[in-house]
Structure formats: C-alpha cells, structure tokens
Structure 1
Amino acid sequence: MSARLRYGLIAGIGVLVSALVLAWVFSAVERRKEEITLPAYGEPTYNPLYALRETLRRDGQKAESRRQLDLADMKLQPGDTVVMLDDPRLLSPPQVSGLLDWVQFGGHLVLQMPGADEELDGDDAGLLEQLGVETSEVPARCLPWRVNGQEEHKEFCSGNRFTVDGSTRVERRWGDGTDATLAWARLRYGTGRIDVLGSTDFLRNGRGEYETGLRDIPHRDLARLVLAPNYGKGTTHLVYEMQMPSLWRTLLKQGWPVWLPLLLALLAWLWARSQRFGALQPSPRGDRRSLLEHVRASGEHLHRYGKSPLLYDAVRQSFLARLRRRAPVAAALVGDAQAQAIADHLQWPLARVQSALQVPPSRDDNALRERIRLLIQMRNQL
C-alpha cells in the first residue's frame, strides 16, 4: 500500500469516527432553555435601597439615594420623605434638631428601630428619646399581612420591638397585640409624621426570607403604606449608610486575599536580604599580629614567584645553626665528610642525610616539601 493511500485511509477513518461522535451527541443531548438569576453587581451590592429607589422612579416619583445624611445638601422641603436605615442614635444634636424642625412643618421621616445598647441609649438629646420611643427586649414574632388576591404573608419576623411612652401622638400602630410592644408605629410630630419600623427588610433589596424583595406584591403594598404620608408630593431621600466604615477596617476585613500574600512576600524578601542589614561598609579588620601567619604568607609569596630555593635555604641554615651548637665537630666539616658525621650522630642512613642537604630543583614542589621535612626532623633530633 502506497503512503498516499494509507494517509487517505486514516483521514477517512477519522472523518467517520467524528461523524459518529457528533451523531451520538445530537441524539443524547436534550436542548432546553432555563432562566438563571445572575448575582447582583454594581450599586445593588452596596446600596440596600437600590430596588426601592428604582421602583419609586418607575412609579413616577422623585427618589435619590444617599450614603450619608447631609441636611445642607439635601435641602429638605415640607413634602419630602427621608428613609434612614442606620442607627438614629448616631445622629449629632444639630442633625436631630434639623430633622425635627423639618418634620414639624410637613416632613416624613422613616426610621429603623435599633437594638439595645447601653453606651448609646439614654441620651436626652437623642432623636428616639425626644420622641418617647424606647427599645423593648421582647423577642420579635411574625405578624400576618393580608392583601386581597394574595397569599397571607408574615412580616416583621426579625428586627427589634419598641414601646412609645405617650409623649407623642401615635397615628398608626402595629404590634403583637398581647402587650404594648410595637413593630411599626406612625407618630405625629407637628404637621409631619415619623414612622418607626422594627425591621426594614421588606424595603431592602431581596435577601433571606425577603428574597423576592419588592417584586412581591404584598411587600410593595406594605412599602406603599409606609411611604403614604408624602407619596407623590416631593423627593424621597434614601439614606442607606450614615456611618461610613473605616478604610483600614474595610481593607483588613475584605482585602486580606491581596494584602496577606503581599505581606508574606515582603517578610520573605526581608528574611532573604537580612544579611545586608547594618552599617553600609564593614568595620575595618584589626591588625593581624600572628607571626605564623606572616611566615606562612611570606613563604607562599616566595613559592608563587619561583623563589622556592630561598625557603629551602632558610630551613637549611636553621638546621646548621643548631648543628653548630650541638655538634660543632660535624658542623666544621664540609661535603661528604659532614654528611657522614651527621649520619653517625643521628644514626640515619647516609643517603637520607645527603638527600636532605641537597638543594631541590626550583619547580619540584614534592622534592622541596620532602627535603624541608627531613631538615626539620634532623634539627629536632639534634
């Protein structure tokens, strides 16, 4: 079979297998449409009243979202409404006075009742204290909410309960019915009104038990009832976060996937470079006064530059100096007679003594070391 025919056969088999796989996929896979709710992104992720604002705008109302309460910038008018989610006990005295003055002449304020806090409760200048509203420790219970044509709903299942001491006239109230605790109350203040809610979950973007949010008709009706006093008269200001979180706290809690690896990398780099810490230049070394180091350095210098015979001669002269002191007769001789006398004195073989007294070649390191070793041994035995 030729190569051309073989390649054609392989290509044909590949096309056939691909066709069979495609046929199986189309016969085994069922096509159908499915709607998937994508997670929120953008403003709905940080503005819990985003859905309420858009609902009001679609209903032809003027609504604005604000992160903080800024009375000077808001320029509140008698027909306006302010929905405030944050703790009203965090308001400053000028803000409390400004809000009450505005409500007194026709404003509508919607508050969320906060939980008990020993550090914040009891301030006579506080907004809740001036309205005669106090936090109740009675646990929340679901309240039924019925809308014609809709299934019965349960509202205010979470949040806080409160009481009103009677200093302010209550226009509407909704509570458990068994005691004086309330989940919602509408107070009259001058010509305006203040709604206090134990929970504002039905006003927020869908979450938890209120997953459908304002898409649910009963929730829209309840929100419409809460906003009824000034509905359609002015602007609805939605204040969703009065107290902005600290930048460093936000980075610490939410930015750790970024700063923690960077911190570990920085610590690893510092550890790798730690040997460079200290002075820019090393301290000068002290004077070296070891005689042995000087002798060794001098010997290495002479050997490096081919002056090895000088090293041998220095050791030989040291040996002869001791020989003159210990065996003056042998030291006075020369040549073979001196070698024989040293051999007799040390009881060494004559050839070994003659080898030690003979100058080695200048480039023969082995001979140099061997003869210096013999001279040192002969000197030590004298």
Structure 2
Amino acid sequence: MSGARRLALAASGLALALLGAWLLGQLHPYREIVERGPTPQARANPYLAAELFLRRQGLEVQRASGLEALAAPAGRPQTLLLLGGREHMTPRQAERVLDWVAAGGHLVFVAERLWDEKTGRSGDLLLDGLGIQQHLSADLAIGEPRDGDRRRAELARFYVQNERTPAYLAFDNAFHLYDSRHRAYAWANSGEATHLLQVRHGQGSVTVLTDAWIWENGEIGAHDHAWLLWHLSRGSQVTLIYRVAGDSLATLLLRHFPAALLALALLAGGLVWRASLRQGPPLPVAGPARRQLEEHLRAGADFLLHRCGQACLLQGLQQDIRRRAGQRDPGFAELPEEAQWQLLARFARLPAGHIGRLMRPPGKALPAADFTRQVADLQRLRNAL
C-alpha cells in the first residue's frame, strides 16, 4: 500500500472519530413523563383517591351499594359518607339513617335540594329532618369581602378547637347552609356563605356539606381537602355509599299489601292444584316387552330436544362429523372452514355449498319438516365418512 493511500485512510479515520465525538457531545439523556390519563377504576369511581387516602391513614374503609350494609353503631365509632345521589331515598330509609346517627354514628352527606319558602320544606328528607336549609348565596344579602381578603374569601375557612390557623376549602360559593334550629357547633364559612355545618343528633353527629367535589379524584389533593376528610373520619370505621336506591317494587308491595299478596298466592296455588288433577283413568303400566332399544333412543332424543332445543341435536351431529373427518385426515381441524367443507364434499361426494348449509352453526328454530330433513342429511354425511 502506498504512503499516500495510508495517509488518506488515516485522515478518514480521524475525521470519523471527530464526527463521532461531536455527535456524542450533542446527545443528552432526559426523562419524559407520558400522561395516559386516569385508569378505568378512577374513571368509574370519582372518589377512588379519597378511598385510597383513608386506607393509607390506617382506617378501615368499606364501599357499599346501599343502606343494607349499615350496621348499628356498637363499640368502635362509625362514619357513613353519603356522597352520591339520594333522589330515590324513601322516608323509611331517611328515618333509618337518622336513627343510626342517634344511636352514635357520624353521618356526612351533601345537601341536594334548595329550601322552598312556599312549601316550608326542601324535599331533601335528611335536610328537613335535621332542620337545615340550603339557599342560593345570590339570594342572601351578604356583604362583599374587603379587597385585601378577596382572594382568601373565595375559600371556606374551617376552624378547629385549639388551632389558630384554619383549614382552607374550595367549596362552591353558589350555595349556603342555614341551621334553622341553631344547633350547629362547627361550621366552615367563606366570604359568600356557609358551606359546612356540624350538628348533634342524639348520641351521634351529622356533617352537612354544600358539595363533595372537593374529595373527587382531581381535587382531593388541593388546599386542605384531604385533611378535612381525615378529620371527619379519624378513629372510626368508614362506610362509603355512592348512591342510595329506593325500595324495590317487591318490597313496597310486601310492606303495603301483604293481605292482597297472600290472597294472590292462595289463588295461584289453587289454580295449580286444579290443573294438576288427573283427567280420566290412569294409563296401564307398560310391560317390559315394549321397552325396546328404539323406544329408548327416541325417548332420549325427545328429552334432549325439549331440554336444549334443536341446536343441541344439530351440534352433536356436526361435532361427530368433524371427529370422523379428523380420523380420515389428521389435519382437518387446522383447516379453514371453507377448506373443511371442500374436504367433506370430496369425502361424501356432495356439493360443497350443500355441505356449508349443513355444517353452519344452528340459527333460529326450524319447522319440524326442515329440522327432520337437516338431521337426515347430516346422518347421511356422517355415514359417508
């Protein structure tokens, strides 16, 4: 190799090395966080973060679908969080919840209805039972906050005994709670209205909120929302009910019309007994000579037909045909459906279209004549294999 060529190769190698060093100098590692949105569990449960937060605080939390899980308070304190809709709550259910509170429970719920001055009630069974009214803040003559306090006045302030600094909570300022019986011992106020009231009821207590969105997945981490949830639930067993369903039709009928249901049951029993009476003399017992193999086969086929319908019998024949075809051609099961029909047509020397009609999954029930014809064709196909 000549000296000029060696010099050119050395220069090329040096240039590649310098280029590589420059490229490595331009590369900088970095971390990128890809937001994939909430999980399906979080989308299905807006209070999933609140539930997990309480469990991490060492509290025993259970989720229930109705008031059936409500047990009488005994021994350990219990807190019931009613965070969902109560539009179908019945008076009996509301009375049961308030009786549970009077026995020593702690109820936390969201006010759902506005106070109606004309009717003297709101229609919210729990609010009316406790004498608490909810109004629109715009309907109240509440003074505007001072400019220096305007930003914080948008947040409700909740003071705890022996604490100088309040907890700040972002309630919706459009609503205001009013204790008409003057029993409240704690509250949270903003510059616009009162958003949280705590009252005694029997041996228990009730916490009423204007809204619970502060505990939803996207808001529980803001301000002092998580602290308030812990403060209301601390030291107790927590039950979360997201929706209260009304009584079922059967429950209402049994409660209000027990005599009518009993009469209806007796009438139905009488009709069944009347229909079960024998019509005419009993048939003589068939002798053993009549019980032939053909009768057993027919009886078995009739039983299957009435038990699982035509599809059961047709599928049994089709599976038997596939099994026999697999014995003649071991690769039959791996073939596509059209290829299987072609192979069956070659084995049985029948048109492939006819085979396809016979081997398709059974659809709706066929007339007796068509069903008999299809069974006969399937049997001939099976015998041809």
Calculate the TM-score normalised by the size of structure 2. Answer: 0.46
| Higher gyration radius (CA) | 1
Calculate the TM-score normalised by the size of structure 1. Answer: 0.47
